[in-house]
Structure 1
């Protein structure tokens, strides 16, 4: 069978990581179950290629009807091999092992293998070279130097920055000097939800409260309900299906005086439009820096090597965080007639490195 050699190669590769991590070129991350690899073992790559070739040769013997899983796996492996050929200093390979439940003594592991492209500059620049002109459009293309480098935009191109169609008079901007760092969250939880409730009583209406994780959202929601049980409120939870999401949004369009707690960077912080008094205020709780895990540290290292000292942390953590904040606040101002309050609750918003990245029109 075409499957057996592939499974044998996969299991052997997994065992190499468990038993003898020095058997293949790799760097074990600070997370003991993640390996960063410079290349994959040649027998493993050969097994992948032979699997694809064997299946493609058996088109008549293995019809696609009734064998969808096999064919989907074949195309996935082929795509993986195609991408593996382009691995270089702009990317990295990661192997993540998760111990299976009930295997404490014999230590059986599930293996997840990923090809991670960090810098697409060279790939996209090739496309630009074939074009007479191009237009790159986004509401969050700042800072431009970041996207210019990452997207491979030729350095000689003329840059034009147009003024925002919105005015600072449309938002009432507030900064709260409260720590939302992980170790301080329990201590500041009540203070934050007290401010949210006070704002509602000062100006009743619909508000969205964004926080950086589902656990933090849940804690904020519970604290708010304990302090203000009379104020209608709803909360986003993980794995909400499309119908539940639509009902969440519909309540904002049909009700007034509703507090919604949602994930910063999630589906309700981008891509939805709540015009007029469907939304009159937004709270951002925590600046939303990506987790400082092994993968992000590897991304930061690669960026630093390509673009110079200081770029790794900014490109990997700071800029993505501010982009999420900007997108979330964007739910409030959808047109020239919209207005409302913006509450940025995190001590770090007072630091220049973060505040200077916020849209200028917010404070002009």
Structure 2
């Protein structure tokens, strides 16, 4: 997308893969609830009571098994308010507050800052908390939820931008006329970029670990999944897509048991940051350089 817009050819001089001492990342795509009802935030089903109930049940079940902090992202403030109102009527909020404290991001900057401070205090004290926030909002842009501040992150729906904006319509027309970039291609690219930015808030180092849940069946489609960063795609195997709520909970339990095993920084010593092919390539280059030095001139 960017090479086409900026008119340049990307050149990769050297590529390094992400190397971890342990599999500290668990991305999953949850496509249905325990009642087998498909979950999605698309316009046709976003107000469906069964979809909203399954979203709530997924959050409650994850909050029961995940310690410390859980961060959730919704596609918009309007959708967040609508879902929370339905959760109150369905008793989801009461069930959630029995497990963890609940904080909600709002469009008011002062209220959101206060919610963040209290959320951090709840996680620091060991009480645990859930933070409901919005993609493209303050929380998704510059707040890191490292270690116990974010052991799980849930992305409820695909965060497409509001397409009725006149500014956006003009931008889409310009991209189509000048660069032959289709409207859907750009919107999907932009949405997946923001989704990856949201879920990436919880992994901030090699010693950190976390669970990433993409709660929308559309994430499993190749055109969506292929636009996720490679470091997420590497761990998002086929058996972690099209899951139900119960399957996601069981996988989360197993992952957290593995992460609970003793692990220190010393365990990372001796773990190569290069792949075997890269090591062989560098060894061959060094040998060639040494041979050139000993050849008499």
Shared fold by TM > 0.5?
Answer: yes
Distance 1:307 1:273 in 2: 35
The number of residue pairs the alignment matches comes to 216
Could you list the per-position Cα deviations for residues 171-223 of structure 1 after superposition, in whole angstroms to 9, with x for gaps in the alignment?
Answer: 22221211211331232111101011101112232100000111222233341
Distance 2:80 2:217 in 1: 18
Distance 2:55 2:160 in 1: 19
TM-score (norm 1): 0.54
Are residues 182 and 329 of structure 1, via their aligned partners in 2, closer, same or farther at CA, if it must alter by over 3 Å? Answer: same
Secondary structure (helix, strand or coil) at the match of 1:181 reads: coil
Q: Does 1:207 align with 2:76?
A: no
CA contact 2:71–2:152 (8 Å) conserved in 1? yes
Distance 2:103 2:56 in 1: 14
Q: Does 1:303 align with 2:171?
A: no
**Match of residue 163 from structure 2:** 292
Distance 1:167 1:219 in 2: 42
Are residues 156 and 358 of structure 1, via their aligned partners in 2, closer, same or farther at CA, if it must alter by over 3 Å? Answer: closer
Please, which moves more after superposition, 168-177 or 245-254? 245-254
**Match of residue 5 from structure 1:** none
Which residue among 319, 328, 335 is the counterpart of 2:205?
Answer: 335
Q: Does 1:271 align with 2:125?
A: no
Secondary structure (helix, strand or coil) at the match of 2:148 reads: helix
Which residue among 160, 176, 186 is the counterpart of 2:30?
Answer: 176
Larger Rg: 1
Are residues 235 and 156 of structure 1, via their aligned partners in 2, closer, same or farther at CA, if it must alter by over 3 Å? Answer: closer
**Match of residue 61 from structure 1:** none
Please, which moves more after superposition, 188-197 or 178-187? 178-187
Task: Compute the displacement of 1:323 (Å).
Answer: 1.0
- The residue correspondences of 1:47-196 to structure 2 (distance < 5 A) are 146-152=1-7, 154-155=8-9, 157-158=11-12, 160-164=14-18, 169-177=23-31, 178-187=39-48, 188-196=51-59
Secondary structure (helix, strand or coil) at the match of 2:132 reads: strand
Q: Does 1:260 align with 2:131?
A: yes
**Match of residue 119 from structure 1:** none
Are residues 283 and 168 of structure 1, via their aligned partners in 2, closer, same or farther at CA, if it must alter by over 3 Å? Answer: farther
CA contact 1:262–1:268 (8 Å) conserved in 2? yes
**Match of residue 151 from structure 2:** 280
Could you list the per-position Cα deviations for residues 62-108 of structure 1 after superposition, in whole angstroms to 9, with x for gaps in the alignment?
Answer: xxxxxxxxxxxxxxxxxxxxxxxxxxxxxxxxxxxxxxxxxxxxxxx
Asked which structure has the greater RCO (Cα within 8 Å, sep 6+), the reply is 2
Distance 1:165 1:245 in 2: 35
Please list every run of 5 or more consecutive structure 1 residues that lacks an aligned counterpart in the other structure: 1-145
Which residue among 92, 106, 110 is the counterpart of 1:237?
Answer: 106
Task: Compute the displacement of 1:165 (Å).
Answer: 5.1
Distance 2:191 2:154 in 1: 15
Please, which moves more after superposition, 344-353 or 292-301? 292-301
Secondary structure (helix, strand or coil) at the match of 2:81 reads: helix
Distance 1:229 1:249 in 2: 13
Which residue among 204, 207, 231 is the counterpart of 1:361?
Answer: 231
Secondary structure (helix, strand or coil) at the match of 1:237 reads: coil
Could you list the per-position Cα deviations for residues 288-331 of structure 1 after superposition, in whole angstroms to 9, with x for gaps in the alignment?
Answer: 111121432322121011112x533322x111111111111111
The RMSD of aligned alpha carbons is 2.4
Distance 1:266 1:173 in 2: 22
Task: Compute the displacement of 1:272 (Å).
Answer: 1.7
Are residues 261 and 243 of structure 1, via their aligned partners in 2, closer, same or farther at CA, if it must alter by over 3 Å? Answer: closer
Are residues 179 and 336 of structure 1, via their aligned partners in 2, closer, same or farther at CA, if it must alter by over 3 Å? Answer: same
**Match of residue 4 from structure 1:** none
**Match of residue 225 from structure 1:** 93
Which residue among 187, 193, 196 is the counterpart of 1:323?
Answer: 193
TM-score (norm 2): 0.65
